[in-house]
Structures are given as structure tokens and as C-alpha cells.
Amino acid sequence: MPRLAPAVLIAGVRLRTRTSLLVLLLAAGCQSSAPAPAPSASPPSTGPIASPADTPAARAAALAAKLPDEDLVGQVLMPYAYGSSATDVTPGNKAGNRQLAGVDTPAEMVARYRLGGLILVGFSADDPTSQNQGTTNVDNAPQVRGLTTGLQAAHAKLAAGSAPLLIGTDQEFGVVTRIKTGVTALPSAMGAGAAGDPALTEAAWRAAGTELAALGVNVDFAPVADVLGNAGSTVIGSRSYGSDPTQVSAQVAGAVRGLQGGGVAATLKHFPGHGHTSGDSHNALPGLVQSRAGLDRGDLPPFVAGMGAGAKLVMSGHLDVRAIDPGTPATFSRKVLTDLLRGQLGFKGVVITDGMNMAPAKRWPAGVAAVRALNAGNDILLMPDKLPEAYNGLLSGLRVGDLSRSRLVEAVTRVLTLKFELAGQAAPDMSTVGSAAHRDAAARLAAAAVTQLRGACGTALRGPVQVTAAGGRDTARGWLVDALRAAGVQVVESGGTVVHLVGYGDEAGDLRKGAAVTVAMDTPYLLAKSDSPVLLATYSSSQPSMAGLAAVLAGKAPAKGRSPVPVTGLPRSSCAPQAG
């Protein structure tokens, strides 16, 4: 083993190489002009200072040291389950749980496998991650709160029950949004990147974190820290804050501060970066062909910035990092997770895999894959393929020596430390969910994101206006119609000036020839093929985004955004002073 350089601690991240120091400086430099983070809403503690034995880390180590093997193994597993209730499920969901884990209900799954965590899942037509989501159990805010309460009750009966169950979900906003009904909708990451103001991002994500905490969700698999390359990775797309590592770093750090300020652990994904790929890691192993210097320059800065902001988790990606460990998915690479992430970048938190039911992780049997992932440096296995096999494979590996007890205890100690840290925060009241203050934070970010890429600025539509949309986008179209009418614009069903909406997955054939205005509600790349004299982008089809768009179309607000990715033949903005 080569000798590591002396550690350097900057912005909370311990660095062990000059290269990693350069990465942090690149990431931190982008934030020098950003507003300082908002002060915590929590008052300073007036109680006695905890003794070393009372710290989350000390409590975690003590508990991990006395857990039996079966409980140690369960603490590193985070599967999904069927059913919108912990204990009362439909016959169909019961059948799904029987097939998945040999149990009837989510609560029984927690009990049988001594689970340390569970992921809440769901999908929609516009979700590029829906391929590994086997069910939906996030119907609305009250239902989610009831489900998480029941899951915590089941976990409290376990040997590790003094620490809470980790309950996670992919609440990225934009196309990957699990909980949609009754919560405040934020614009996509790319929309935040277009707004270009980390303070707005932090405020909006603080609102989101507060609401998730109120629902009983304590881990969010967000923000996406991937930097988009020129190819514009379709599976990442608008889930990314943009193509500039410096600007993405500032946005990621803001999102982390906001989310964790709201009481929910943030997860940086997909390490070491999925944006410079053309493949989809759900069904293949994408290759990262950058040199190590290219990774340091173009992919790692947002992860380093997020760690500096205090992110509690990092998600390992199913990515072939050819400059470091060619042919091995990063999820299973000790060189990527232990040597780079832990050793060189100094990350001390929890490392969680991307879905173990995705194709690159299924090249090995579930039990073998579980052992390999732990040995590489992961602490939690997300959505293990064939839960009983993964559980028994870890137990077997522990007993035959393929998985050392010290490595498993190390992982469990990190997991329990995170749990005890989260346990010290009181859950917000449900009245905060969808509150006026939270809606305002989302609206300010969405309004700042609206970007004009072609056409004279500040010219209001005089009506009558006809709003059309590519297939399946009636909800967003309805929101825009309502917002335009509220702004005083006459909207008709036919014959007016056409405003045409396109979104995720749309192609050139979904554009409307002759439309006066074309609006991209996802990545803006398709606008390069539009003949409309006015081109706008919201990067998101959420209700706040449609309200922000309506204000621009009605001439009541400027289009202040700037595209965070290059679009062929178009400026970053045809309105903003820095366009080009």
C-alpha cells in the first residue's frame, strides 16, 4: 500500500492528497460569493453538555458491540415493501411481500429480517428510475405518516430498537419525486441551477426537509451531485444542477444545508458521478472514460462540496470508473469507495449502494453481491435483490470468513451513529406540510428559474392564448391555464396564440410547428429543434414552475434564469445580461 499524504481538514472534509485538496478548492471557490447559510431555526441548547459516553457515536459503538449476528446483518439492509400501511395490506400487496420476503406485511418484514431501514417507493410515467420500483406505497402525506409510524413501532421491538428505523425515499423533485400529493413541490435540480442562487435553493430544500421529517421520512436520497457532460446523460438529465462543476457544487451544498437543516439526512449521489455517461445504470454498466484528472476536475467537486456542507450519506453508483478500477462497478470497488471516497476524500459518514436490484449489481447471486458490496466499503445495501438470499448470504459470509465481523460492525456502527443523530431531532408538526411559507420558498425558486432562450424579452402575450402540450401532460397544461387566467390572460381552447409545452422524453416529433412559444419543462436540449420565435424553459412541470412561467408570459415578471447546460445554437439566456 502506498503511504498516504498527511491529512488536511478543510470545510469539514479530511483530505489526504494534493489532488483531493485541489478538488475541494475548486468546489469551495464557487461558493465564495454565495450568501451565508440561514441560521438554524433551533434555539441553542441550554442543557448539560453530553459526556463522551452519551454521544451518538459512543451509543452506536456500544450497541453494535452487543448485537447478535442476525441483528447486525439486518441493520445494513434497506429493502422496499408492498403496502401503504405497515400492518394492513391488500391481498395483492400481501402476495408481493410473500414473493419478495416470505412475509405478509411491511412490519413483518422489519421483524423477520431485523431491518435497519426501509425505502418508500413509487413511480410515474416520467420517471427514469421506475425500472427498479416494484410498487408504490406513497399515496399522500397523511398515509405516509401513518406508514412510517407503523414501521417505527415494528422496529422499536428489535434489539437495535433504541435507535430509529431509517426510512428513506427518492424525493429529488422534478421527474424523480416519490411523494407528490399534499406536499410542497419544488422545481427540479436543473431549475435550481438555472436560478443560480444557492440561498434560494437552501430555503426551498429546508422546506422540503421539514416536510419529509414531519411525514416520518428521515433520509432523502438527494441531492444529485452529478455534473452533466456534453452528451447530457438522459437518465440524469434535469436531475442534475447543470454542466458546470463550480456552479453545481454551490447548488449541492445549498441543498444539503437546507435538507439537513429541516431534519432529514441528505445523500450525495451517484458517486463518483453519473453525468458524463450515455448509459443507464438501471439496465447496463455505464463507463466513465475520463482520466483521473478529468474526474477530479469535472465530477468530484460537487461531492466534495456536499461533504463539506455536512452530507451524512453518499450513494455509490453502478459505474465503471475506468481510470481507477476498470471493469468493476464502483459499488463493488474498494479502490473507489475505500481508497478514494474514504481515504483520499476523507468521508466519515454512511455509504449506501444504489439499488442492488439494478442490472450491474445482479451479475452475482444476491448473497454474493451483498458480501462484495460490504467488503468494498458500503454500509447499507439498498433494495437488495432477493432479500432472503441477501440476508442469509451475509450471515453465511460472516460465519465462513468471507465477511469479517470487524467490517460488519464498522458498517453497523456508522448506521447506528446516523440513527442516534437523527433521533435527537424532534419531528415537525404535520401542519408544516404544504404551509404557505414553504409554498412561497418553492415559488421564489421556480420563478427565478424561468429562462428565455430566444425572442424579445418582456413582451406580454395579449391573448387570446391557446395552451397545447405533448401527450400526457394535461396536469401541467391545466396548471398553466389556471395561472394565466389568474394573471389576466385570456385562454381559449382553439384559435389563439399557441403556447406549446414539451417535457421529459419528448422528441422532435412532439414539437408543434408554428407555435408562437415553445416551453421545455425538462432539459432544454429539444428547444434547439423548435421553430418558435419565443423559447422558454422551466426545467420542471410542477405547479410553482407553471405559475412562474405564467407570470413571464403575462409580462408580470422577467425571465431571470440562465440555462445551466449548453443548448446547440442558443444562448444561455436571451434576456439576462450575462447571456452568451
DSSP for residue 335? I
- Quick check: 526 and 425 in contact, CB under 8 A? no
Amino acid at 377: G
Q: What is the pLDDT, as a whole number, of residue 135?
A: 76
Residue 5: the pLDDT is: 36
For the record, the C-alpha cell of 227 comes out as 455534473
Residue 469 has phi, psi (to 5 degrees) of -150, 150
CA–CA separation, 313 vs 311, rounded Å? Answer: 6
Return per-residue pLDDT of the chain as tens, 580 residues. Answer: 333 333 333 333 444 444 444 444 444 444 433 333 343 334 334 344 556 778 999 999 999 999 999 999 999 999 999 999 999 999 999 999 999 999 999 999 999 999 999 999 986 655 566 555 567 899 999 999 999 999 999 999 999 999 999 999 999 999 999 999 999 999 999 999 999 999 999 999 999 999 999 999 999 999 999 999 876 667 799 999 999 999 999 999 999 999 999 999 999 999 999 888 865 555 567 888 899 999 999 999 999 999 999 999 999 999 999 999 999 999 999 999 999 999 999 999 999 999 999 988 889 999 999 999 999 999 999 999 899 999 999 999 999 999 999 999 999 999 999 999 999 888 899 999 999 999 999 999 999 999 999 999 988 898 799 999 998 899 999 999 999 999 999 999 999 999 999 999 999 999 999 999 999 999 999 999 999 999 999 999 999 999 999 999 999 999 999 999 999 999 999 996 644 4
Any idea which residue has 453497523 for its cell?
A: 412
Q: Which residues are catalytic, by number?
A: 282, 354
CA separation for the pair 215, 428 (Å, rounded): 9
For the chain, domains (ranges, CATH) are 55-426 (3.20.20.300), 450-553 (3.40.50)
**How confident is the model at residue 418, as a pLDDT?**
98
pLDDT at res. 426: 85
What amino acid is encoded at 131 in this protein? Q
**Cα–chain-centroid distance for residue 126?**
16
Residue 350 φ then ψ, to 5°: -90, 130
Predicted local distance difference test score (pLDDT) of residue 117? 98
Length of the chain: 580
Contact by Cβ (8 Å): 565, 524: yes
Neighbours of 254 (CB within 10 A): 30
- Give the pLDDT of residue 577: 61
Specify the amino acid at residue 495: G
Report how far residue 553's alpha carbon sits from residue 538's, in angstroms, rounded to the nearest whole number.
12
